[in-house]
Amino acid sequence: MQRIDWVGEFSAFGDETDPRRRGRMLDEGLEVVTGLLAGEPVDHHGEHYAAHGVRYLPAPPVPIWLGGRFGNAVPLRRAARHDGFFVIGLGGPTDVGTVLDDLAQHEPGPGFDVVVDLQPDQDPAPWLDSGATWVLTRVGPFDLDLGRVRALVEAGP
């Protein structure tokens, strides 16, 4: 079984490193969270989580974006059931069209977001023109410079 733990983001916290098991945990967790965010009573007894007759009020409208690597069908399919897909590892703006075509097969709801991350010096316009609805500027984890981060924040969108 392939283990993915790029910079210790799972193992350093004692989290599950097996991607298939993490996926099952995510699916179950999303079932609980979406139930809670609907404002209805949740009674869940699963393999990984339990919620015993709980209700979350007030139930705010909270969009749920899920991330996944470009070309990996399982995270894309999972994201299509929610509110957005944060695509990791796109080669260029034209790949956004491929993502949109793949998503269309799973009929995401209205207002579905496609999120990409770019280096600070990349122009977001071609990505937005290709159908991305959000562009996030990537910082870190290895080259994290607080001054550069502050400059990016101050520059705004």
* 61 CB-contact burial (10 Å; exposed 0-12 / middle 13-18 / buried 19+): exposed
Mean pLDDT, range 12-36, rounded to an integer: 90
Residue 2 has a pLDDT of: 47
**In the chain, where the domains are located:** 1-62, 63-157
Give tens-digit pLDDT for 54-95: 999 887 888 999 999 999 999 999 999 999 999 999 999 999
Residue 13 has a pLDDT of: 87
In the predicted structure, residue 3 carries a pLDDT above the cut 60: no
pTM of model > 0.75: yes
Structure tokens at 87: 């695509």
Query: Which range is least confidently modeled, 20-24, 129-133, 135-139?
Result: 135-139
Query: Which range is least confidently modeled, 34-38, 80-84, 137-141?
Result: 137-141
Residue 1 has a pLDDT of: 39
In the block, which residue shows the tokens 């609907």?
38
Instruction: State the Cα–Cα distance between residues 105 and 85, nearest whole angstrom.
Output: 14
In the predicted structure, residue 126 carries a pLDDT above the cut 80: yes
Mean pLDDT, range 47-58, rounded to an integer: 92
In the block, which residue shows the tokens 């990409």?
116
Alpha carbon of residue 74 to chain centroid: 13
Residue 148 has a pLDDT of: 82
